[in-house]
Amino acid sequence: MALLARVAVIGAGVAGLAAARELHREGHRVVVLEKRHSLGGTWLYNSRVDSDPLSLDPARAVVGTSLYHSLRTNLPRQIMGFLDYPFAKRIHGDQRTFPGHEEVLWFLNEFADEFQLRELIRFCTEVVRAERAEGRNDEWVVESRSRGSESAKVVREVYDAVVVCNGHYTEPHLVEVPGIEKWRGYQIHSHNYRIPKPFTGQVVVLIGFGPSAFDISRDVATVAKEVHIATRAPNVTVGKLDNHKNIWQHEMIEFVDEDGKVVFQDGSSVHADTIFYCTGYKYHFPFIETNGIVTIDDNRVGPLYKHVFPPRLAPWLSFIGMPKQGTPFMTAELQSKWLAHVLSGKALLPTKEEMMSDIEKYYHHMEETGVPKRFTHVLPPNEIEYMNWLLAQVGMPPLKEWTGRMYKECAMLAKAKRDGYKDQWDDDYWDAVIASQVDSIIF
Ligand code: FAD
């Protein structure tokens, strides 16, 4: 195994930056290929949206972020930084514990500057294909093209390893709505939502119950006539929300008709102008060719050992940032440390057979406990266990107890759909908890 590898990192979002830093620290030769003009991925806000509001057209120009203008983080900043580079408040910045998205972008730029990552990144460079060199596992051919010019020449380069960090929040997942083919109203996925203004005076039906559905329903309700949230989540309280003058909650949509009527499973109905899908995203790696070794099935990307290595292609192909929920920055950082150590031979992977058997055991456990396949990469409730496992691989001590407790508290508040919880966060309490455990903060 090469001790120092030539590595192509695809994407300069959180995952790509974390990977670049760890690989570079470990002495590997890193090139980050990023199709946008700047770093930050999701956190690089763009007021433009896809040409097609449902993002169904495979030929559309995909806008590389799903941020809406009003977005604030859904995690407190204490668990949004990196382990050795916290997301601290700055004097003239957004002082809130759950800051606006601009503050996160600022933080990522500081991070890149602090570790001189910018010079590793080739901006406006889109990877169009990455595949193994014929007959070799440890040589990858990466084809990229300068963005902005369709006629730009494809550049072919050879690397020892490819690290996929292209994110998974730009390819919308839609749900079936019976009768939708006859419905004549407007339809949009949250990927293409930026500001509430276009929905002024409208009756909007919004499908979903995650963080985006929560935020967008409140945002749109500031200008819309009515907002109706439809969800398949169990045990929701049906009816008007007490603390809002124009938001209702319903069971899932039963059907819609050509007159614009939307009928819910709870028996109620409205005439709507817009159906808004806050229904999540799909994994999508259009540029990776593995001849069927890595597949996507019902949002399960597999087989991946610990969400990172496909056993048959390890360690030369890896995926950083696949997990959903949990603490994405720290998770990507720890996965990257593990990857960097594996590539330099400091950490050893099990055999292919052992990795496969571990993956099968995980799938089997999901089945036995009734967890649907599409949740394969959802970390909770095991997010801390997973991060501690990664830490152990690189010889670092486990996370401080407060990290897991803070995450769980925040997840619980978000799940309870309590308005204003971000501004009611008890900073003094958490500062004291963190201070009491400070002696064992790890680097
Ligand atoms: P991305 O940020 O998507 O970065 C991927 C990068 O790869 C992009 O820069 C893209 O341009 C590039 N790329 C893609 N394809 C190619 C290609 N073919 N060639 C070259 N470059 C390519 N996380 C939190 O921790 N806290 C939050 O509060 C939070 N809120 C969120 C709110 C929303 C609406 C969304 C969508 C996500 C949120 N997340 C949040 C999750 C967030 O996505 C992660 O924090 C993190 O940004 C993921 O980083 P990533 O690098 O994996 O992906």
From residue 99, give the alpha-carbon distance in Å to each of 89, 103, 412: 9, 6, 19
Q: CA angle, corner 102, sides to 97 and 106, nearest 5?
A: 90
261 is written with which tokens?
Answer: 């009527």
CA nearest ligand 1 atom 25, residue: 328
How many whole angstroms separate alpha carbon 62 and alpha carbon 171?
Answer: 8
Residue 303: cis peptide before it, omega within 30 degrees of 0: yes
pLDDT for 135 equals 79
Nearest CA among 345, 319, 342, 315 for reference residue 332: 319
CA of 35 to the centre of ligand 1 (A): 13
Our measurement of the distance from residue 243's CA atom to the centroid of its chain's CA atoms, rounded to an integer in Å, reads 30
Does residue 384 contact residue 404 with C-beta atoms inside 8 Å? yes
CA of 313 to the centre of ligand 1 (A): 24
DSSP state of 432: H
pLDDT for 99 equals 98
How many whole angstroms separate alpha carbon 266 and alpha carbon 17?
Answer: 46
Site to probe by mutation for ligand 1, drawn from 33, 166, 277 as the one with most ligand atoms within 8 Å of Cβ, is: 166
Closest approach atom of ligand 1 to CA 167:
53
CA of 72 to the centre of ligand 1 (A): 15
Please list the pLDDT of the chain residue by residue as tens digits (443 residues). Answer: 547 889 999 999 999 999 999 999 999 999 999 999 999 999 999 999 999 999 999 889 899 999 999 999 999 999 999 999 999 999 999 999 999 999 999 999 999 999 999 999 999 999 999 999 987 878 999 999 998 766 779 999 999 999 999 999 999 999 999 999 999 999 999 999 999 999 999 999 999 999 999 999 999 999 999 999 999 988 888 999 999 999 999 999 999 999 999 999 999 999 999 999 999 999 999 999 999 999 999 999 999 999 999 999 999 999 999 999 999 999 999 999 999 999 999 999 999 999 999 999 999 999 999 999 999 999 999 999 999 999 999 999 999 999 999 999 999 999 888 889 999 999 999 999 999 998 654 44
CA of 13 to the centre of ligand 1 (A): 5
Closest approach atom of ligand 1 to CA 98:
28
Residues 6 or more apart from 36 whose CB is under 8 A from it? 12, 44, 64, 123, 124, 147
Evaluated on CA atoms 210, 99, 307, 11, the torsion sign reads: positive
pLDDT for 150 equals 67
Nearest CA among 430, 440, 404, 414 for reference residue 331: 404
Residue 315: cis peptide before it, omega within 30 degrees of 0: yes
ipTM: 0.99
Q: In the structure, which protein residues have their CB atom closer than 6 angstroms to any atom of ligand 1?
A: 10-16, 33-36, 41-43, 64, 66-67, 71, 73-75, 80, 126-127, 165-167, 169, 212, 287, 321, 328-329
How many whole angstroms separate alpha carbon 93 and alpha carbon 99?
Answer: 9
Does residue 103 contact residue 127 with C-beta atoms inside 8 Å? no
CA of 379 to the centre of ligand 1 (A): 17
pLDDT for 443 equals 41
The pTM assigned to this predicted structure is: 0.96
